[in-house]
Chain A
Amino acid sequence: MPGFGLTMGYTLFYLSVIVLIPLAGLFLRVLGMTWSEFWGMAMSPRAMAAYRLTFGASFVAAVINVVFGTLTAWVLVRYSFPGKRFLDALVDFPFALPTAVAGLTLSSLFAPNGWLGQVLVPMGIHVAYTPLGVTLALTFIGLPFVVRTLQPVLEQLERETEEAAATLGAGRLRTFVSVVAPTLFPAALTGFALAFARAIGEYGSVIFISSGRQFESEIAPMVIVIRLDEFNTNGALAIAVVMLVASFTMLGVINVLERWVSRYQH
């Protein structure tokens, strides 16, 4: 096969120019800071509050996604019903919709005069401009990851193992808990990790639905942007490094999980 030198060379060149060198530049710049300078900016009370919301809301969003994502994947794989193809395509919608539009329409839906806000606000449920809204936006963007991770695993499940459980006396619920759920667990965890990883870096949808008030509904990427607006590049970098380390840790976790998913395949 010809072309290895050319394609490999270009791949490495382009990868270096667009991704690796700029990223290295970022880390190099951080290495130029003193430890206390870095730590002070990375762990300032405002940053800490932002991390708490970012990771907390992302975690809750990913948990919600695992629950509804598993349900959705199960229904789409196991049952036939009118409109199934449409719902299946709809699952990818958050993936295709620009995040700014997602944030705009969600905040409008849950605003006091919005379609859902009209009902929820009088009941005392405030979604728009609150941490709840942030969680909602992060749930919205993460859903496809869980569904699309679980679907192929569910499709490959042998129906016979469930029938075997039935012949041994297990009811459907017991079969699901004892036989199906343990097989799905690694995939569900992978979906969780993917949704979580996507949520912690999210910015576009959140700024529309968050009040942006510090210590209340401000997420870490918003703090980075504010530091940049203040021309405090180092301050932005310190928080960015924390976010990058978190992202790369998640990437490692996801890799390990994906190997675990294929553990019982033989």
Chain B
Amino acid sequence: MAGNTPRRVRESHRKSQRGAEETPLVKWLLVGTAGLFLLVFLLLPLVNVFAQALGKGLGAYFKALEHPDTLSSIRLTLLTAAICVPLNVVFGVCAAWAVAKFEFRGKALLITLIDLPFSVSPVVAGLVYVVVFGLQGYLGPWLADRDLQVIFAVPGIVLATLFVTFPFVARELIPVMQATGTDQEQAAMTLGASGWQTFWRVTLPSVKWGLLYGVILCNARAMGEFGAVSVVSGHITGLTDTMPLRVEKLYISYDSTGAFAVASLLALLALVTLVAKTWLEWRQERQFEAAQHVETSTSRDEGTGPT
């Protein structure tokens, strides 16, 4: 009896019996080609990083990582990320609030300007700070007089990283905040909540996953940036080398195991980023589906199942 069997139809079953789609041969040919391409082009390089890093054994691997200059590059990378991510989070939240909750002239221009660093070559981004703070730059002589160093020092590295990671948090938060609208905030305020209370208790919880998404991407780029940092760093071993710069230096000095050991840490960072990103997307998808389900089940069950 048809009425007793489950109504929900699994898509795969439905598709395999359709009359207007690729034959299984064509389908598997396409899947095979794409799969092979992705595995060779994307997975193989990843596997290679770890294979090369561990090729001379675990001992050599850890010995390479324990080198004082490598440890100092890890510290510098962590420090840079620890400064840049919070600063860009504060900016991202402010920008998203202003853009998503208010209407004003020039909004499209503001969004374009926020995205601008994405379209600037990292090398040019570094160069920009050299022009401002370098010895031949606008503020260079003034800084030199006061014995302050920005270029070829940590502040320059932080500034260059700030520039290239600038849009990440804002760009993820703006659409999320736009989607949540202002209804909840207005409701909170009619209940007597102050602006700050509303922000902490209503706005932030409703955008926390979007914020986390932005933080993860921002952090990955902050730790992995090469071009911009390379221009302003000065490559002073043990002082201004970040992890990516350390990879290059070890590579140039033919220390393959050392280069790949540091690279493997950065690849791990990429993997963690990917897992976190996939998990967040999966979460959002499920939330979206749950919301859809509530909507459809409150209306009549028209259009569900094959008719």
Contacts and interface: CB of A to CB of B under 8 A. Distances in A.
Q: Do chains A and B touch in the complex (CB under 8 A)?
A: yes
Interface string A35-51: 00000000000000000
B177 to A, nearest CB: 11
B122 A203 contact: yes
A11 B110 contact: yes
A85 B285 CA distance: 13
A176 B102 CA distance: 43
A25 B127 contact: no
Interface in A62-121: 68, 71-72, 74-76, 79-81, 83, 85, 87-94, 96-102, 104-106, 108-109, 114-116
Interface residues of B, number: 96
A163 B247 contact: no
Q: Which of A102, A143, A200 has the most CB of B within 10 A?
A: A102
In this complex, the interface size class of chain A, counting residues with CB under 8 Å from chain B, is 35 or more
A203 B128 contact: no
Contacts of B260: 104-105, 108
A22 B263 contact: no
A60 to B, nearest CB: 15
Given A97-B270, A101-B263, A225-B123, A109 B48 contact: yes
B157 to A, nearest CB: 14
Contacts of B298: none
A82 B269 CA distance: 26
A71 B30 contact: yes
A264 interface: no
A106 B37 CA distance: 15
Given A7-B94, A247-B121, A79 B225 contact: no
A224 B130 CA distance: 12
A59 B182 CA distance: 44
A131 B114 CA distance: 34
Contact of B259 (A90, A104, A197): A104
Given A19-B113, A22-B163, A92 B48 contact: no
A84 B131 CA distance: 47
A1 B34 contact: no
A216 interface: no
A236 B128 CA distance: 10
A11 B91 contact: yes
A208 B129 contact: no
Interface string A198-215: 001111100110000000
A3 interface: yes
B231 A228 contact: yes
B88 to A, nearest CB: 9
A257 B287 CA distance: 31
Interface string B14-31: 010001111000110011
B98 A22 contact: no
Given A68-B34, A87-B35, A204-B244, A100 B226 contact: yes
B178 interface: no
A15 B114 contact: yes
B120 A80 contact: no
Contacts of B230: 203-204, 225
Interface stretch (A122-130, A182-190, A237-245): A237-245
A101 B244 contact: yes
A3 B119 contact: no
A236 B263 CA distance: 29
B122 A68 contact: no
A101 B97 contact: no
Nearest to B113: A15
Interface stretch (B38-46, B61-69, B289-297): B38-46
Contacts of B163: 18-19, 22
A93 B274 contact: yes
Contacts of A98: 220, 223-226, 243-244, 266, 269-270
A132 interface: no
Contact of B31 (A8, A79, A106, A247): A79
A3 B18 CA distance: 55
17 contacts: A1-B101, A3-B101, A7-B97, A11-B94, A20-B113, A26-B124, A93-B43, A93-B270, A100-B248, A100-B266, A104-B49, A201-B227, A202-B227, A224-B127, A236-B127, A247-B121, A248-B119
The 6 A-B pairs of least Cβ separation, nearest first, read: A98-B224, A201-B121, A204-B226, A203-B227, A166-B20, A2-B195
Interface of B: 11-12, 15, 19-22, 26-27, 30-31, 33-35, 37-38, 40-46, 48-49, 52, 90-91, 93-95, 97-98, 101-102, 104, 110, 112-117, 119-124, 127-132, 134, 136-138, 159, 162-163, 166, 182, 185-186, 195, 199, 220, 223-227, 230-231, 243-245, 247-248, 251, 256, 259-260, 263, 266-267, 269-271, 273-275, 277-278
Given A22-B131, A97-B46, A175-B20, 5 more contacts: A3-B199, A10-B94, A98-B270, A115-B44, A203-B227
